[in-house]
Amino acid sequence: MAVRRIGLDIGATEVRVAEVEFSGKSTPATGSGTLIGFAAEKLPRGTVQAGEIVDVTAVGTAIKKAFAGSSFSSKEVHIGVGSAGVVVREIDLPELPMNQLRTSLPFQVQELLPMSTDEALLDFFPTAEREGESTKLLRGMLVAAPKATVSQHILAIENAGLRPVMVDLNAFALMRAQMTDELRSKIVAFVDIGARVTTVIIANGGMPRLVRILPNGGQDVTDAVATALRISAQEADDVKRNMSIGAQVHPDFQAGQDAVTATSRSLFDSIRNTFVYYSGNNPGEQIAQVVITGGGSHLPGLGQFIASSIRLSVSYGNSFARVTIGKKVPRELLTGREAQLPLPIGLAFGEAS
């Protein structure tokens, strides 16, 4: 029996839904699938801010519309969270059966968290085993998501008449959708530059090692251009798409150009800091490649700017690395979005544990 899974990405600019079918021996964990459904619906500005749902009703309505216009085969969806309030840290814990380990998490990790464990949903994803001084240790990623963030997501889904079956971490989904055998053999930094959130996930051997969720993105560039040129955000969004970092521009646009360069540089500095932090904590582990996705990554000149500043190979990600595109999915919906859909597709690849 073919297994079908629906991933739902709630971004600041739109909701995106992807349905993936896994048939034969292919499983979501290791195999590839077929993208059999896709829909996107724009969100009014301000309804989602930096990964937090502000207006549950508006988001619910957009999701409902996305589902109404397409024939998805179920109402069960995999969703993800990834605001700056979500804490993700690599930790070592004494090896225990997973269910016992999960129950013991609140006691083991309280001092590592900026919030009370009562206010967070905690999970742990083992990535490696190692010998400790007296016991075996499990190395893995601790995820602590504020309950308030998760419940807003669940409310929006329920408002749309759907049922969430899995709440994932967006960063894991990003990595999962793009992980090929070639990338699995390297240390890779996946960087998704959205409108209000930039997500960095560094993977070694296909396993996550560092996740950072930064509260900046393409919208900050737009807002800076709007202020500098005294134009609306809508106009500024169009203007910036025609600007290239570091290029010569007409004097009338110089202030806008300077705003693009300054905001991109500050975003880039935050991204680079995560790379420096990783190298500092993992001596000898060199990041070999940077893979960029998200609408914000399309800012003309950004790829070259990052590559020349950090002297690493930078490429655009491929959201469809693990799927073939089904015949019923209208191609025009996907054109130009190769580097913009790793989230909904990666969420569909998620396996509840």
- Report the interface residues with Mg ion, using CB under 5 A: 11, 194
Q: What whole-number distance in Å separates Cα of residue 122 and Cα of residue 218?
A: 30
Residue (124 or 349) nearer to Mg ion, CB: 349
Contact status, residue 268 vs residue 193, Cβ threshold 8 Å: no
Calculate ∠ Cα 18-314-269, nearest 5°: 100
Please provide residue 249's backbone torsions phi and psi, each rounded to the nearest 5 degrees.
-135, 165
User: Which of 301, 304, 294 lies closest to 219 in space, CA to CA?
Assistant: 294
Q: Please, what is the minimum distance in Å from the beta carbon of residue 336 to ligand ATP?
A: 9
Burial of 78 (0-12, 13-18, 19+ CB in 10 A): buried
User: Which of 59, 60, 39 lies closest to 49 in space, CA to CA?
Assistant: 59
Alpha-carbon distances of 151 from 65, 87, 297, rounded to whole Å: 21, 16, 30
Q: What whole-number distance in Å separates Cα of residue 231 and Cα of residue 83?
A: 29
Residue 294 touches ligand ATP, criterion: CB under 6 A? yes
Q: Please, what is the minimum distance in Å from the beta carbon of residue 172 to Mg ion?
A: 14
Residue 195 touches ligand ATP, criterion: CB under 6 A? yes
Q: Please, what is the minimum distance in Å from the beta carbon of residue 35 to ligand ATP?
A: 18
| Beta partners for residue 38, in sequence order | 18
| Distance linking the first and last C-alpha atoms of the chain | 21
* The entry of ligand ATP, Mg ion, none that residue 237 binds, CB within 5 to 8 Å by partner kind: ligand ATP
Q: Please, what is the minimum distance in Å from the beta carbon of residue 343 to Mg ion?
A: 6
Q: Please, what is the minimum distance in Å from the beta carbon of residue 209 to ligand ATP?
A: 22
Residue 80 touches ligand ATP, criterion: CB under 6 A? no
Q: What whole-number distance in Å separates Cα of residue 319 and Cα of residue 346?
A: 8
Residue (34 or 216) nearer to ligand ATP, CB: 216
Alpha-carbon distances of 306 from 105, 222, 271, 334, 339, rounded to whole Å: 38, 19, 10, 26, 17
Residue 217 touches ligand ATP, criterion: CB under 6 A? yes
DSSP state of 27: -
Q: Please, what is the minimum distance in Å from the beta carbon of residue 18 to Mg ion?
A: 13
Sole window of 157-165, 215-223, 227-235, 305-313 interacting with ligand ATP (rule: CB under 6 A): 215-223
Residues that bind ligand ATP (rule: CB under 6 A) add up to a total of 23
Site string for ligand ATP, 245-284 (x = CB under 6 A): ----------------------------------------
Q: What whole-number distance in Å separates Cα of residue 212 and Cα of residue 209?
A: 10
Residue 43, both tokens = 């969100």
Residue 27, both tokens = 């499983």
Sole window of 10-18, 19-27, 95-103, 178-186 interacting with ligand ATP (rule: CB under 6 A): 10-18
* The entry of ligand ATP, Mg ion, none that residue 217 binds, CB within 5 to 8 Å by partner kind: ligand ATP
* The entry of Mg ion, ligand ATP, none that residue 60 binds, CB within 5 to 8 Å by partner kind: none
Site string for ligand ATP, 37-76 (x = CB under 6 A): -----------x--x-------------------------
Residue 85 touches ligand ATP, criterion: CB under 6 A? no
Alpha-carbon distances of 141 from 56, 112, 287, 290, 305, rounded to whole Å: 29, 13, 19, 21, 31
Q: Please, what is the minimum distance in Å from the beta carbon of residue 301 to ligand ATP?
A: 10
Binder of ligand ATP out of 28, 208, 218, 256 (CB under 6 A): 218
Which residue type, as a one-letter code, is found at position 119? E
Residues between 229 and 248 that touch ligand ATP (CB under 6 A): 237, 240-241
Chain residues in the site for ligand ATP (CB under 6 A): 11-14, 48, 51, 194-197, 217-219, 222, 237, 240-241, 294-296, 298-299, 340
